[in-house]
Amino acid sequence: EPLTILQHIMLGINTHINLDLGLAASAVMQGKQISDIENDFNIVNNILGNIVNEMQDRLSRVSPLLFLLDIAGKNSDEEIINFSLGKARAFSWYNANLLWGLGVGHQDDAIRQMDLAVLRLGEFIKSPKSTLINYTLKFIGKFEEKNVVAVISKLRKD
């Protein structure tokens, strides 16, 4: 089943925030106090929350029926995305602290568990449990721009 552009974006965000960010923050702060970067970490969370509407506006250029997701989700998709981003960033901060506390050479089991959590969330993004959301995504996908170069170009333009 082909995925919508939104699903592709969410899959990338999932991996980046829920796995890569915690790994990177932990690695960068080894030998230092990880709490020194918590404020910056939270500022980025706020910035991500503020770009949700802009992201949706840009997506509408390549996915003209994306608004149907608002209807299917009872106009709560922005809140869901914001909540998901906030929850993912909080989880990422927890993971960064966990890995930092374990230290280099003692992180393998924790990283495997994080990887599995990202995989499970990715499976949910790919195939939502809601039948209505699933059908809505399939319908939206039928009318999306299919040319990857055109998609990237249209998402970039202001």
pLDDT in tens, 139-151: 999 999 999 999 9
Strand, coil or helix: 92: helix
133 burial type by CB count under 10 A (0-12 exposed, 13-18 middle, 19+ buried)? middle
Other CB atoms within a 10 A radius of the CB of residue 52 amount to 17
Domain holding 40, by residue range, is: 5-156
Interval 75-126: pLDDT, tens: 555 556 655 777 888 889 999 999 999 998 999 999 999 999 999 988 988 9
Number of domains in the chain: 1
- Which residues make Cβ contacts (< 8 Å) with residue 130, sequence separation at least 6? 72
Q: How far apart are the first and last CA of the chain?
A: 31
59-82 mean pLDDT? 76
66-72 mean pLDDT? 81
How many whole angstroms separate alpha carbon 86 and alpha carbon 108? 26
Q: Which two tokens stand for residue 7?
A: 């699903």
Q: Is the pLDDT of residue 69 over 90?
A: no
Q: Which two tokens stand for residue 155?
A: 């998402």
How many whole angstroms separate alpha carbon 102 and alpha carbon 25? 13
